[in-house]
Amino acid sequence: MKLMPAFFFLFLLFAFSAMAGEILHNPSLEQDAESDGIPDHWAFLRHPVLDTDLLAAFDGNASVRASVYHNLMQSRHALPGVRYTFSGFVRGEEGDESAQLACEFFSPSQWLHYQRGFAPVSADYAPMAATFLAPPKTASLRVNFRSLLSSQWVCGDAFSLLDEFIANPDFEDIQNAMPSGWYASGAPAVNASYQGAWSGKTQVRCNRENYFYQDMAVYPDKKYALVFHVRTDDDSSISDFLPVLFFDNALSIISEIRIPFDAEPFYKRFVSEMTPPQEAVSMRIALRPAGESRDFLWFDAVTMAAVAASPAEFSPNGDGVYDECAAVVLLNESALVTLHVSNAANDALRTIAVLATRPKGAHSFSWNGRADDDTPTTAGKYRFNFLIQSALLGELEISAPMEVAAPPPVAAPPHEFADTFPLGIWFHLSGRYADDINYPRYLTAVAARGFDTVIASWMNEPRIAEFMDAADNAGLSVIAHNRAIDNLITQKYDFAYDKIPETKMREAATSAALALAHHSSFIGYYIRDEIAPEYLENAKNIVRILRGADPAHPSFNAIAMTPDLPERFEKLDTDVLLHDVYPIWSLEPVAPSTFDSFCASLEMASRAAIEKKRPLWVILQSYGDENLRMPAPAELRCQVWLSLAYNAKGVFFFLAQSLFNLRGVFSFDETPLPILDELGEINAELARLAPTLLTLAPAESLASAPPDHLVKSFTDSDETPHLIVVNKDCLSTRSVELILNLEGAALVSDILKEAPIAHFYEAGRLHIPLTIEAGGGRLIRIEQKNSAANAPHRAPREAIASALSLPNFNMMEEPLHLSEPQNGVLVSFIPIKEWTNNLAVGEGLACVTSNTGGFRLYDVARPWSPMPIAHVFDEHNYNAASINGGRIFLADPWGGVIIYSLDYARNLDFLGERWGHSGAPFSMNVNGDCAFLSCAKYGLRLLDVSEPTSPVLTGCGEPCEFGRHVIPRGDYAYLLDEFNGIHIEDISTSAPIRLATLPLNRPLSGDACGDALAVACGDYGLKVFSIHKPCEPELMGEIALSQTDSATFYRNKNIFASAGLEGIAIIELDEKGAPQLKGYYQPLSGYYALKVVVDDPYLYILYPYAGVCILSPDRLLNPNSGAHFDGMAAY
């Protein structure tokens, strides 16, 4: 029960610049000595906003506004194993946000761990706190204030950071006549004259109204012992209580402990042990009598220690699950420590630590459940008994209870998969696009494409039996995710003192087996996806317990591309190394180098699997999102063949159904996409290869790989050599020749094609010529005889080349090649080899924004000869740009609008910016003095930019799910909501009014011309509407395209749409306004056309990692036009 809110205490607390026991510098943000808008001792990540407004602040004049990508941070020294509590007063800008208090921990050489706490906030300031535990090897920490969601901004003030130590426990450190670390309420006295002090020279004099207090972080995983010394101010004796208050993460008092003491004229030492309430995050020690007495008392040497047993219950039975127990002691100052173990009868059984000096901080000692004579202890209750000695503590005896349990050991051998080569696909079975899906339809569809296994993650609890029955009927095997086990794994960090009880884990394993094991389709438990390092110990325990509880069904967990993959796999000890690796990054060109890191990750995974003699199964990319591009068919095959080359014995694909911003092999409306049929063909080939692949083991290399290829060597159970050869070029069929130092090759055959391969010997070496399709591979068997007498031979080619005087040649990487037809469609090209994401053109300028930070500005007044003006590289993640009235407007999707202009010398001048209230602009269209912003869930927002130095928010539309793009048209604006459709907004008034919504799948971008509206819908192609009636768009037709990210009109009858790897689609409107596809144009083969913009009479195409192509649309539409075109004629 909460006793009372702590606001009275907190008002006193934050009326001053530092909290008692405060670790942070300048916690109230008031100090800014350099007047640079950044509070002293704090750091800004990107662009949080410091407001120096009395009305905006909670205390004083300063407060800060922050978001996910605009953070307030401060770094401080830290100690491992110590709890820290970070707090502050926070509010939202609109009242429906969530604030986040976070902490990162660092060792002297590397980043260690990230922890956070978050809570919803209102429009008014309220206290908030979060507690963190420093992991092993911690040397420093960095606290961080931010919002929880990317589109939100929150305000904060009066921050605090506490640790578990009492600062300045003997009051010897005096600053400004006051003991540092302590806060004074009223007017307590300080005496530093040595007279009467118990320790050192300083003591403090307090009564009920005038006292010192200090706050410290606590957590209910420890038992704390408070030691203090007190005497009366005269010859009297006083019996009273010392108050200790406990606060929760809302900084409300949840409990009070009153420690009795009998003060006399001379100092007496008092000790009180306490365990904080379950919800406590901080504790306040007030040096005052809490009872009836109003007399003054003297206090000195106020210190503490804490102990814990971790886990509180352990089972030393040798099964690897909680076989040892750690005794933890937290010291406020350096002390001598002795530790032994006793039983319930207080008999000493084991000495763990002999008398030795330990420094301030947390210390851990391990016990294996055995006595000094190495005999095992029986089940029962035991105690860690600490004797701690220091000048301030005196001699402190404190114990931590624990229990030895005796469950039967969990033991079972790993499951064997020698005859299994699964062909699988991943299903995510909860959320908006998964809760109500038709299981039989999906599972029947994947089974028909040759899949035999599914990973079912986040299964909809009420529908688990329905899914499993559908899988049974479809003849599919299921690796099923169990939410209870997943939640258990992440309940506690591995390094937390309070562990997950073994009994709880055993109960969860039993429940999971009861729910799933009886289904014929069930083959194993998916315990958690990509387990983070801080949960590996918990996951390892679950794996072992499940192995013992249900030996027939092994546990699975995918490990992603990470440098410590072998260590994670060794720790988890699952029966299969399941490795997910996704190489096709968003908008990257199709190139052999795409697979370099992919191969490096597969190499590491393959070695880890071989070392543990476990099979390697891979989860490959068959999806796209904001960061990853949907693979082309050749890239799908290349992933598979490369995986086989690294000894994969099972292949899965992620993802089946489309979810929110993930695009899988089924559409949002459960329709199979063409990629699913491509996967079906791959599965058919894998099914034919599997019997051979299962017999192969990696062998010493027989052949070097030609450029842009991979060659790996294997032998089967009969020691017959095999090769897997992969063409990493996903654009071209390649002809190569392998050269092997291998004698006696009698027959070389292609396993998949079941056909012999021509080969010959030259200069004693075996040559195998091959032709491999783009992204394809070959599995080759080489059967040997005792001699090479029957193999064909020919003279060395060097001799032939010499005789014919022919030059030798080698293969070189081709430079960027623009496929330019003879009719002069391509006017010019601007090379930009970085991850660009948007393009704006107008008024003789082209602005290209970049995902890697910054933007580029070009003079395109003469498009046949574009000239660079500026390259601004900053920390902004610009997502959109607009050019209007000689100004360049840029949108940062994390809440900012930045405005530049050009002076007469064509130099770029910064004009102004706006952060925060404008939401999260994903696109921007500036028309006159108004900037129209589509702001994710905040919908349409209007900015008055008539005064560019200080843009003003003038209108906010209704929220939507994900506003991607806005097309203003007279009194109306069409807001494209990726997950709801087209919102028609009335913008004739100060605040936009939503008039109607037209449902549509994934509208991403678009353009309007006359009475026509063209909308690019990603994988759903291009839709064209008539907006003759602005509030009632009428669909005139659609074009089936893939990867349609943008569309633009050229004059009245033509539309150009970006079509990803196919370049641009050329579309014409017929007399009725219906679109007709006329063809494609791709000047940069293998590169992704992302954005198309018309600046009549030119067409601009943005290719990430390549640049901008400037075309003549007239010549593109009519190759015979402009035979005598002079670029100057347009001007």
| Token pair listed for 736 | 């190569």
**651, 570: one domain:** yes
Q: Residue 820's pLDDT is what?
A: 55
| Token pair listed for 758 | 């021509």
| Token pair listed for 1022 | 């291009």
> Three-state SS for 981?
strand
- 827 part of a folded domain: no
- 8 part of a folded domain: no
By the 8 A CB rule, do 402 and 314 touch?
yes
The residues, ordered by sequence, that sit 6+ positions from 719 with a Cβ below 8 Å of its Cβ are none
Q: Is the pLDDT of residue 265 over 50?
A: yes
Q: Is the pLDDT of residue 742 over 80?
A: yes
Q: Is the pLDDT of residue 1131 over 50?
A: no
Q: How far is CA 54 from CA 31, 61, 159, in A?
A: 14, 4, 17
**741, 752: one domain:** yes
**359, 270: one domain:** no
CA distance 590 to 642: 16
Q: Is the dihedral of CA 729, 733, 739, 744 positive or negative?
A: positive
By the 8 A CB rule, do 851 and 1123 touch?
no
> Three-state SS for 541?
helix
By the 8 A CB rule, do 327 and 309 touch?
yes
- 985 part of a folded domain: yes
Q: How far is CA 740 from CA 637, 787, 956, in A?
A: 26, 15, 70
- 413 part of a folded domain: no
- The lowest-confidence range among 204-218, 299-313, 907-921 is 907-921
Q: Is the pLDDT of residue 794 over 70?
A: no
**859, 800: one domain:** no
By the 8 A CB rule, do 487 and 442 touch?
no
If pLDDT is split at 50, 70 and 90, which confidence band does 435 have? confident
Q: Say what percent of the chain tops pLDDT 90.
A: 83
If pLDDT is split at 50, 70 and 90, which confidence band does 1050 have? very high
* Mean of the per-residue pLDDT values of the chain: 91
Decide which of 103, 136, 162 is a domain's last residue. 162
CA distance 980 to 997: 8
β partners of residue 162: 85
Quote helix, strand, coil % in the chain, to nearest 5: 15, 45, 45
**427, 364: one domain:** no
Q: Is the pLDDT of residue 323 over 50?
A: yes
| Domain that residue 720 falls in | 709-804
b/e sequence 432-449, b meaning 16+ C-beta within 10 Å: ebbeebebeebbebbbeb
> Three-state SS for 396?
strand
Helices (H), 107-227: none
- 147 part of a folded domain: yes
**994, 1009: one domain:** no
Q: Is the pLDDT of residue 876 over 60?
A: yes
Q: Is the pLDDT of residue 787 over 70?
A: no
- 32 part of a folded domain: yes
pTM, full prediction: 0.89
**Greatest extent of the chain over all pairs of C-alpha atoms, in Å:** 119
The number of domains in the chain is 7
| CATH classification of the domain holding 990 | 2.130.10.10
| Token pair listed for 641 | 């063949």
Q: How far is CA 1028 from CA 756, 782, 1033, 1036, 1059, in A?
A: 66, 70, 8, 12, 27
If pLDDT is split at 50, 70 and 90, which confidence band does 20 have? low
Each residue of 483-518: pLDDT tens digit? 999 999 999 999 999 999 999 999 999 999 999 999
| CATH classification of the domain holding 489 | 3.20.20.80
Decide which of 135, 162, 189 is a domain's last residue. 162
CA distance 679 to 999: 31
- 418 part of a folded domain: no
Q: Where does residue 37 fall: left (phi above 0), alpha (psi -120 to 50 degrees), or beta otherwise? A: left
By the 8 A CB rule, do 281 and 245 touch?
no
- 809 part of a folded domain: no
**755, 787: one domain:** yes
* Residue tagged 């006193």 (tokens): 12
β partners of residue 335: 358
**189, 287: one domain:** yes
**199, 76: one domain:** no
Each residue of 1000-1032: pLDDT tens digit? 999 999 999 999 999 999 989 999 999 999 999
Burial of 743 per CB tally in 10 Å (0-12, 13-18, 19+)? middle
**742, 781: one domain:** yes
Average pLDDT over residues 1102-1128: 79
**946, 1095: one domain:** no
Each residue of 96-119: pLDDT tens digit? 899 999 999 999 999 999 999 999
Q: Residue 171's pLDDT is what?
A: 97
Which among 537, 546, 631 is positioned nearest to 584, based on CA atoms? Answer: 631
| CATH classification of the domain holding 102 | 2.60.120.260
Each residue of 971-1010: pLDDT tens digit? 999 999 998 999 999 999 888 999 999 999 999 999 999 9
How is residue 462 annotated by DSSP?
G
Each residue of 129-154: pLDDT tens digit? 999 999 999 999 999 999 998 778 99
**354, 477: one domain:** no
One DSSP character per residue, 314-352 reads: E--SSSSSS--EEEEEEESS-EEEEEEEEETT--EEEEE
Q: Residue 1127's pLDDT is what?
A: 44
Decide which of 964, 999, 1034 is a domain's last residue. 999
The residues, ordered by sequence, that sit 6+ positions from 905 with a Cβ below 8 Å of its Cβ are none
